[in-house]
Structure 1
Amino acid sequence: MTTRQDIEDMINRVALNDRAAFEALYSATSAKLFGIILRVLKDRAASEDVLQDVYLRLWQGGAQTFATGRASPISWLATIARNRAIDRLRRVKPESNLDGVAEPRDPALGPEGLAVAASERAMIDACLDELQPDRATAVRGAYLDGDTYADLAARFDVPLNTMRTWLRRSLMSLKDCLSR
């Protein structure tokens, strides 16, 4: 198991252009970072591109900006990955349906998979409709559009902790609704 100290050491060695450390860092962290990026982008190919960009930037000097002991190294890497994914979302306007939420596209899905995905999407939409309109909009913004909690708090003119509470309670309501 890779420890926090191991990852810190790898990042510091990557800053010194240590190829072995870069390989070890990639092996230890790429799956987690890919998952974060994929949750934001919902597109495997785009997520792979962003993941490559994250590691390329680390290799080209980004690792030198890491402050040892200041932040968790995996949190630092996760923040970089999430921000790069959000940047990609903002750069590339996704195709969207009538309510403005991008439809996930997976070319690997066959007709049956598409039918199941459409059914699940309908269930999620129905459950989102049960939420208060501002809560549903906030959930869509945070989890489908990649908006930050701070952006949403500003948009709805509520304190950041209130926005966090809205989202947490909304997700709990969605979970209850989807389990019915």
Structure 2
Amino acid sequence: MTETSGFWRALRGDGTPRARAGAYVSRLTGEPPADDVAWLAAIMLGHDEDHARWELRYAMRAIGLLVAERDALDDRTASLVAEALELALERDPNVAANMVNVAGAQFEARLAAYREAFHKRSARESQESRLARELLSFSSAVPGDRERAIREAAGVIARQAATAAEALRRAFGEARLPDDVKPSEALGG
């Protein structure tokens, strides 16, 4: 067995692609850390922990989808993840049945903003800081020290992105090619 065949095994992974997407999404749809919820609520208008929790949930799901789009081994992965996220939202016990469409629209609005911040190029500001600004904006945060809040929110975003990247590797595998083999060559290109 060659190292290249290990690449194909990692690409295929265990189970169907839909099952792997479901496993990945299950890591994205857990509850946010209580410390993050308390921190965000403390700088929000009204100190609303439920709103903070929802914004952190939306951020994790959006970051997870963006990480899948960026890091997946297969072009189909992101669409399978998006499908699994939609199904997870429909089944989310935190969302009343008559509010699924509202929650879906709220997620889509946040995803669009996070996607724009994720892909924007800037020498002045890190990707995490741009995403942090979106999180604070959607949260109606009014921090006393805005720059400190951006740094702290950027830390939350960085942890979410690291969690998503690790969950993606666990669910879908990791490409391992010899140093002298380009991915396009392994695919026969």
TM-score, reference length from structure 1: 0.28
By relative contact order (CA 8 Å, sep 6+), the higher-ranking structure is: 2
TM-score (norm 2): 0.27
